[in-house]
Structure 1
Amino acid sequence: MPVQEPPEEAVDRPFGSENRARLLGQYFSEHPEVTAQNAWEHAYRLLMWIDRTTGLAHCYESDKSQAGRPWYARSLAFHSWLSEALGVAAGQLGEEIDVLFRNVTHDLAAGVAVRLQRNRDRVASQRQPYEGQGIPLPNEDPRLDDIILESLSGYLAEPPPPEVLRGLTERIQIYVGQENKRKNLVGEGFEDTVAALLTRVPGISDRYDIRVRTMLQNLPGFHPHQGKAKPKEVDVSLVNRATGHRTLVSCKWSVRADREEQFGNDFNAYVRANATGEPFGYVLVTNEFDPARLAAACDSTAGNTLLFTDVVHVNPDGARAVYSAPAVAGPIAKGMTRALQHADSGRLSSLELWLAKLAGGS
């Protein structure tokens, strides 16, 4: 997808909601066919990425997926499955995914360049009183310079000029620093992507009012916020236009241990705020691959009922591929068995089936 030059507001706030909306709109204008069947492909093309330390599509924590560790074998299986499912060569997968982050970081780089240009005269005036003291320039990194020169010493006729080397180290620093900002995008970016799919799959937006990051008190049938506790914000919500039934969706790309506890706390807060007494749906949409966490989400209860109305994985076939990697004994194997049982029974649903159900009016 060709990258358009960003507007000024994108340069100033590349990770902001307005820029994400612009980039999602740009993506879907070039990929207008959105169905329940291909929604998972769009989700992965937009948000899945290549882990730079493994060279593989990211499906688990990086530190536990390094070469030689059990999750490296599972990451290999996932990378192979995803490449085949998207119809691309395994070595070219990185060019087909991570669209949202790559475009956001393009805007980020543009912003850095603009700020450097804006600040050039100011920086020079700030440094002027200390001229001649040998104080390092911004982005100078002698150790990184040494690594570059040592690595390329056999290929360079002469060392590059200092300003060229400094420019290279600056670009490397920006590139490495971008990855640290990914978490700023994946969280709300996943919410935006799910909402974008809900509004574009035929039949859903006709039946439901779809909202993103709405305060609970602003949804129909819930009490105004009271007390000193922080007001609850719902990731994505759907309100049936005909019946008024409310579905509160928690969109979590991954499920950390602290989030497992938060799910129950959020649900209890929703129940307390429910002014009508009418039941509401509570759905988890996730891309978690840890089998124990998936199984726990499926098994979680509130009182004597299941906590989540639906537990939805972007594509459980990807999880099946991960779990098909060389088997291991112990708790992880038991977790895989439980997760697969939930997938087989339909308790662990797919994005495709959930969207199709909504489009059908269920």
Structure 2
Amino acid sequence: MALRPDIWPSTELKLVWFDKLLTTVENPLPNFNNICTALELLSFLLTILKKETILTSFKPLQRGIAACMTCPNTKVIRGVHSLLSRLMSFFPTEPVTSNVASKYEELECLYACVSKVVYEGLTNYEKASTGSPSQLFSTLMILKAACMHNHCYIDRLITTFMKVLHKMAREHLVPTSPESSPVASELMILSLDLVKNRVGVMSLEMRKSFIGQILVGLIEKTTDAKVMKAITKMVEDWVKTKTPIAINQSPSIREKAILLVKLMQHVEKRFPDEQELNAQFLELVNYIYRDESLSGTELTSKLESAFLSGLRCNQPTIRHKFVEVFENSIPRRMFDRLLYITCTQNCEAMGHFIPTDRNKLSVLYYCKPIPLLVN
């Protein structure tokens, strides 16, 4: 607190010793606890120092921070990620078209190193005969920090990144490494999150591969509920997006329909005991049927089975929401509801949900009373 400008305005920080401490990460036996503490302290200083002070203070620390980027220790990498994320929130990376890594000369070397580490990490993984999650951990965490306040940062690497993502998906579905699957799954989820809002910059072939091979392949074959939840959340974000910029960076209605149909076919079938996942998907289906802008689109026409799944959902809150939509979709005249039961209702789409007499009576229950004609 004493270092805050409003408390001690004339303070002059001497942070050069931090650089010496951080560069010890390259030693044969580094003290990771001290290095992590130093990274945490530098992150804290970013919250209390003026921008001009940050630039002058961090200029001599660039080599030490850069050395930590390739450290195999996960705690150190998380510390570097936190530090870079905060630093880049004040001094964002430059656009793809820029000739410099940073318009601030004090950070030029550090930001150039970020670009180098990410590019080399992705390239090495993509060219390796076999990949491993730990090989990509530092690369993806540094890339995540660079993209947090500049979503376009990944555009310069999109071709290489999509090749890496394709390989990661294959590794996830048919592991060739004995490493723990939770680490691989977390990195897969992180990678999907990094690229989900950059669909618009992909080439046609790249886009087909992303939607039709990577995402569809994961939906059909993954055994990890976390990955399925991440894909469902991604599709949900695409469906709910309304701003023109976001729409341009998301898949088309047809592509969304492909993914939703695949989710409809595999979520309940392969993850029947995952209540949270099933609820997440059904909430999205319910949103689609309630949104007037999506009424009559390819999304609603292909999700009838999912809607009927909502009507028989074992979670009362969700089931009630579907019944509400269902009630409002059929006129309350006796004739219309009888017509629905006898002609319109598609029993095939209802799967193992048998339309019993009780179900049919519930459709008729809310009919408007028929006025009697009295002579």
- Give me the TM-score of the superposition, normalised by structure 2: 0.27
Greater CA radius of gyration, 1 or 2? 2
Structure with the bigger RCO (C-alpha within 8 Å, sep 6+) is: 1
Structure with greater proportional strand content: 1
